[in-house]
Copies of this chain bind each other. A is one copy, B any other.
Amino acid sequence: MEFRLIDRIRERTALAREDVRLGIGDDAAVLAVPPGQHLAVAIDTLVEGVHFPHGTSPRDIGWKALAVNLSDLAAMGATPAWALLALTLPRADPAYVDDLAEGFAQLAREHGVALVGGDTTHGPLCLSVAVHGFVPPGQALDRGGARVGDVVFVTGSLGGAAGGLRLVQGKVPFDPADESHRALRTRLDRPTPRVRTGMALRGHANACIDVSDGLLADLGHVCAASGVGAELDLDALPLSPALRGVFGNAAARELALSGGDDYELCFTVAPASVGAMHAALAEVGGHATRIGLITEGHGVRAIGGAPLAGARSGWDHFHP
């Protein structure tokens, strides 16, 4: 059964790349990294009921499993190339697998990613995806490069995925006829990894991370890794009209600070490089909002205010 399921996935994710010397179907894939490039690799797992709600469509699950991983590559400034998929399924349901593979393949095609290996096993619904990309030596956007005086930016808007999760959880009942509701569900189910933006940030950003655990938590990781602090202009946080419309300004801001799963990029740029950064982003159709500054000290606080990060912030999958 394993082989036939993998064959179905392979058919739906077929994408020719010259650097794939031996693709899915053998004990291992054989791949050629371009000369002079480093390899960036990441792995992330999605578990039903933890990372996506029960009842999420298989197409959205397939998309999201790849999206959260491409977001990790984006946060390094890497160019995506190859993926591996380990799929654990309660039942060998070909139609379900086809839909899941199609969601995965949609996003893979968009970024030219080839599926080069996979494993299907029996068990509770769970997907681990490993992704591989290329980055020129010395140009990876790590978390440890933020400097005092850097300007803090974030792409897109924040809090939408957490808003979508609230709708799913019924705190505000989901209304499929409401355009704002649908927009927030899409933010949760179909995150957009900022791949081209991440690549455009090479040479401009000093530090970068993707917002998966929530802005406070993730900017906190940058601060900890860089040995700096940060202050945020809370009025500058980019909130979508849908989020403000459904939850009001105060709750929207809270979701933007602590909600997870947005998969936007948060990055820091030296003041002298801000203009060039904006120009580089504009070239790829990207956009980022200035939300704060890197300071001495540690932790994240509001401008002139107290530390924002409480004992817990963002997602904590062991204490949801």
Is B22's CB under 8 angstroms from A32's CB?
Answer: no
User: With A1-B319, A31-B39, A76-B27 in contact, is A22–B88 under 8 Å at CB?
Assistant: no
What residue of chain B has the Cβ atom nearest to residue A69's Cβ?
Answer: B28
A179 and B43 CA atoms in complex are apart in Å by 40
Is B27's CB under 8 angstroms from A31's CB?
Answer: no
Is B122's CB under 8 angstroms from A318's CB?
Answer: yes
Is B38's CB under 8 angstroms from A316's CB?
Answer: no
A78 and B116 CA atoms in complex are apart in Å by 16
The 8 closest A-B pairs by CB, nearest first: A128-B128, A47-B123, A27-B75, A28-B42, A43-B84, A1-B318, A130-B130, A86-B128
Is B22's CB under 8 angstroms from A316's CB?
Answer: no
A63 within 8 A of B: no
A-B contact pairs, 7 of them (CB 8 A): A27-B42, A27-B73, A29-B40, A29-B42, A31-B40, A41-B132, A122-B318
- What sequence of 0s and 1s flags, for each residue 77-117 of chain A, a beta carbon within 8 Å of any chain B beta carbon? 01000101110100110000000000000000000000011
A209 within 8 A of B: yes
The number of times this chain is found in the oligomer is 2
What residue of chain B has the Cβ atom nearest to residue A265's Cβ?
Answer: B27
A86 and B45 CA atoms in complex are apart in Å by 6
- What sequence of 0s and 1s flags, for each residue 107-144 of chain A, a beta carbon within 8 Å of any chain B beta carbon? 00000000011110111101010111101010010111
What residue of chain B has the Cβ atom nearest to residue A2's Cβ?
Answer: B317
A123 and B85 CA atoms in complex are apart in Å by 18
User: With A41-B117, A122-B50 in contact, is A28–B86 under 8 Å at CB?
Assistant: no
A21 within 8 A of B: yes
A33 within 8 A of B: yes
Is A121's CB under 8 angstroms from B45's CB?
Answer: yes
A72 within 8 A of B: yes
A44 within 8 A of B: yes
User: How close is A317's CB to chain B, nearest CB, in angstroms?
Assistant: 4
Q: Which of A119-178 contact B (CB under 8 A)?
A: 119, 121-124, 126, 128, 130-133, 135, 137, 140, 142-144
What's the interface size class on A, roughly? 35 or more
A30 within 8 A of B: yes
When the two chains form the complex, which single residue of B41, B49, B71, B144 contacts A84, counting CB atoms closer than 8 Å? Answer: B41
A275 within 8 A of B: no
A128 and B49 CA atoms in complex are apart in Å by 18
A182 within 8 A of B: no
A126 and B320 CA atoms in complex are apart in Å by 19
Is B45's CB under 8 angstroms from A88's CB?
Answer: yes
Known contacts A21-B140, A32-B38, A47-B123, then 15 further A-B pairs from the complex at CB < 8 Å, ordered by chain A residue = A27-B71, A28-B42, A28-B75, A30-B135, A31-B39, A31-B40, A32-B137, A41-B116, A42-B117, A43-B85, A43-B128, A121-B317, A122-B318, A122-B320, A124-B124
A298 within 8 A of B: no
A26 within 8 A of B: yes
Is A86's CB under 8 angstroms from B43's CB?
Answer: yes
